[in-house]
């Protein structure tokens, strides 16, 4: 089998595609993959590092306001479609899978014009512009949240979850908190705002540090590499023995597997990882995303009893520590939330999406 994968712009579009490839390889080791990404996107670094064949297209996103840049965007898109058709004709895939981002729009649309089966995957509760555009011509559509079903043509979309969840759930973790000077016999709260950190979360944790120093549970605070020094400069209280401040964690899924509660944004990848591991969480949605989709993502977990949510305008040292205490100082609450998180986590998402791909090819 020959498969083209395409998705870019953020890790939330890239990692599900790579996780899916792992699942397919287990079933069909001889499968040939080609990943088509954008020239300047993070996928141009992430994907080649895995050893997967990679090709590049030049695209850019639309501006929300009226702008002459949008004329260039359309021109680049049409050019990217032409280039994508050349790639498709040369590689001759059995199916093209798009996981979101502007580059996948050009690749999947080109495949649809050439009558090649296409599958798109939507990780968020609010469908992205690219996937909505591609949905009518898609052979099959997989979504991670039930609420996304109604945003696609009736009967075409199926809930499959996020393949990243299956990848994380099957991970064997040998991580010990002793590696960073903490204890393995204490409850641990992990706080992070994404790979680059989040200023609002960082500021709230700085203000809450004195309170965290006094808690029986231990706290690991990941600032983001570019914000680490700024956090240290702003601190007026030094961390106690039960608190560690780090710029970055490169083996995050392994660390998460040893965590009792998590404070995080509500991106699709974070939620997939959290629920795959069955961890209670405090979600702080980013207000700077299209369609406020992180709030909708978080609300899905809150409604299921798997998480607490703090809006960014309501975030403070007080609201953060109160939420943390709710999860880590009340075993009944944390156990109930862990059970619900486990219940809604889709641990066979990669298998489900793989089945959808086979269905698309066989149609």
- Residue 73 is predicted with a pLDDT of 66
Nearest to 131 by CA among 166, 100, 158, 161: 100
**Residue 270 pLDDT exceeds 80:** yes
- Residue 124 assigned to a binding site: yes
> Is 169 inside any structural domain?
no
| Tens digit of each residue's pLDDT (9 = 90 or more) over 135-169 | 999 999 999 999 899 999 998 999 999 999 998 98
Is 142 annotated as a binding-site member?
Answer: no
Does 96 share its domain with 135? yes
Alpha carbon distance 282, 89 (integer Å) = 47
Report the C-alpha gap between 117 and 357 in whole angstroms: 9
Residue 304 maps to which CATH number?
Answer: 3.40.50.2000
Judge whether 167 lies within some domain: no
Please give the distance of CA 190 from its chain centroid, rounded to a whole number: 17
The response to whether 345 counts as a known ligand-binding position is no
Question: Given pLDDT bands bounded at 50, 70 and 90, which one contains residue 351?
Answer: very high
Residues 333 and 244 in one domain: yes
- Tens-place pLDDT, residues 22-72: 999 999 999 999 999 988 888 999 999 999 999 999 876 554 544 546 556
pTM: 0.86
Number of domains in the chain: 2
Residue 171 lies in a domain: no
Instruction: Give the integer Cα–Cα distance in Å for 271 and 165.
Output: 9
Consult the annotation and say whether 6 binds a ligand.
Answer: no
- Is 216 annotated in some ligand binding site? no
Cβ–Cβ under 8 Å, residues 189 and 324: yes
Residue 344 marked as a ligand binder: no
- The percent of residues above 70 in pLDDT, for the chain, comes to 96
Is the same domain home to 231 and 100?
no
Taking alpha carbons only, the member of 303, 267, 262, 300 closest to residue 285 is 267
Domain membership flag for residue 148: yes
7 assigned to a ligand binding site? no
From 173, 124, 90, 149, select the one nearest 13 (Cα to Cα): 124
The domain of 64 spans 2-162+347-362
Is 282 within 8 Å of 302 (Cβ atoms)? no
Task: Count the residues in the chain.
Answer: 363
| Neighbour-count burial for 298-326, b at 16+ CB within 10 Å, e otherwise | bbbbeeebbbbbbebeebebebbbebbeb
């Amino acid at each position: 089998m020959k498969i083209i994968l395409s998705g870019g712009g953020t890790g939330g579009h890239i990692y599900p595609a790579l996780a899916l490839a792992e699942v397919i390889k287990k079933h069909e080791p001889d499968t040939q993959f080609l990943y088509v990404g954008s020239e300047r996107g993070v996928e141009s670094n992430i994907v080649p590092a895995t050893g997967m064949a990679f090709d590049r297209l030049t695209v850019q996103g639309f501006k929300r306001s009226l702008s002459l840049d949008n004329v260039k965007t359309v021109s680049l898109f049409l050019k990217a479609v032409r280039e994508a058709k050349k790639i498709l004709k040369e590689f001759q895939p059995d199916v093209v899978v798009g996981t979101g981002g502007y580059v996948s729009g050009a690749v999947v649309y080109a495949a649809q014009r050439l009558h090649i089966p296409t599958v798109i995957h939507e990780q968020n509760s609010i469908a992205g512009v690219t996937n909505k555009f591609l949905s009518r011509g898609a052979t099959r559509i997989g979504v991670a949240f039930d609420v996304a079903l109604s945003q696609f043509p009736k009967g075409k979309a199926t809930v499959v979850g996020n393949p990243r969840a299956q990848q994380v759930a099957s991970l064997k973790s040998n991580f010990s908190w002793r590696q960073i000077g903490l204890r393995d016999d204490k409850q641990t709260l992990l706080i992070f705002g994404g790979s680059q950190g989040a200023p609002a979360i960082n500021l709230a944790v700085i203000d809450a540090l004195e309170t965290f120093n006094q808690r029986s549970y231990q706290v690991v605070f990941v600032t983001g590499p570019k914000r680490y020094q700024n956090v240290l400069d702003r601190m007026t209280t030094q961390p106690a023995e039960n608190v560690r401040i780090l710029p970055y964690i490169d083996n995050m899924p392994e660390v998460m597997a040893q965590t009792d509660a998590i404070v995080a944004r509500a991106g699709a990848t974070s939620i997939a990882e959290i629920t795959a591991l069955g961890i209670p969480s405090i979600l702080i949605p980013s207000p700077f995303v299209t369609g406020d989709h992180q709030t909708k993502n978080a609300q899905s977990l809150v409604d299921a009893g798997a998480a607490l949510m703090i809006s960014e305008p309501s975030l403070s040292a007080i609201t953060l520590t109160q939420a943390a205490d709710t999860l880590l100082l009340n075993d009944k609450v944390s156990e109930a939330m862990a059970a619900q998180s486990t219940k809604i986590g889709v641990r066979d998402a990669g298998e489900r999406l793989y089945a959808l791909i086979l269905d698309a090819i066989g149609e």
